[in-house]
Amino acid sequence: MGFFLTNPMKEKAKILDKDTVSRTIIRIAHEVLEKNKGTENLCLLGIRSRGVYLAQRIAVCIKKIEDKEVPVGVLDITLYRDDLTLIANQPVVHKTEINFDITGKTIVLIDDVLYTGRTIRSALDALIDFGRPKSIQLAVLVDRGHRELPIRADFVGKNIPTAQNETIEVRLEEVDGRDEVVIVERD
């Protein structure tokens, strides 16, 4: 994390703690089911890396609510980015794992933070190379504003207005050892 060494970050506020993260995910699961009237043709697709864990958790919630399994796929959008040379740390290319045919399906894309919208733009490009879904919806844990593209989320965990010099960090048990969402500020 050399980036953090050269740009010291200060934690400003905790927005969601463990329990609120969990309740928020349950609510999103209910909203996804409500909007789609159940699980028929429904597939979840998590965007690497934290979107994947969110997708898996939403799938677990859906199983509890409806007693139905929904397929979960993993999307790596590195190869579709438009800013590969702009980012400080070289992203490592990971695998995309979609073990089901997406054609005709209702796909819910899942990511942790919605910001400029460019990740979602890349994800849409990637997704369409795999087939022709009936529709694509977007679920995010946090919408922090500052969109640069005409993209919006269908399901939002929490809207958090931020300044440009702030960053939202979503931490999840599976990768970070704990569940929380914090605002950090660059000095």
From the CB of 95, what's the least distance to another protein, in Å? 5
Q: Segment contacting another protein (CB under 8 A): 12-20, 25-33, 36-44, 71-79? A: 71-79
Place of tokens 């919630």: 61
State which residue, 13 or 87, has the beta carbon closest to another protein.
Answer: 87
Q: How far is the CB of 80 from another protein (least distance, A)?
A: 6
Return the exposure string of 87-124: e unless at least 16 CB atoms fall within 10 Å of the residue's CB, then b. eeeeeeeeebebeeebeebbbbbbbbbbbebbbbbbbb
Distance from C-alpha of 136 to C-alpha of 151, rounded to nearest angstrom: 12
Q: How far is the CB of 148 from another protein (least distance, A)?
A: 18
- Closest CB 123 distance from another protein, rounded Å: 13
- Kindly state the tokens that stand for 128: 């369409």
By CB under 8 A, residue 76 contacts another protein: yes
Enter the DSSP assignment of 93.
Answer: P
Contact 109, 45 (CB under 8 A): yes
CA dihedral of 21, 159, 125, 129, whole degrees rounded to 10: 30
Indicate the angle between helix axes 50-66 and 18-36, nearest 10 degrees.
60
For another protein, give the closer residue by CB, 106 or 122: 122
**Shortest distance, position 4 Cβ to another protein, whole Å:** 15
The reply to whether 96 sits near another protein by the rule CB under 8 A is yes
Is 13 among the residues that bind another protein (CB under 8 A)?
no
85 scored as a contact of another protein (CB under 8 A): yes
Where do contacts with another protein occur on this chain (CB under 8 A)? 76, 78-80, 84-86, 89-90, 92-97, 125-126, 129-131
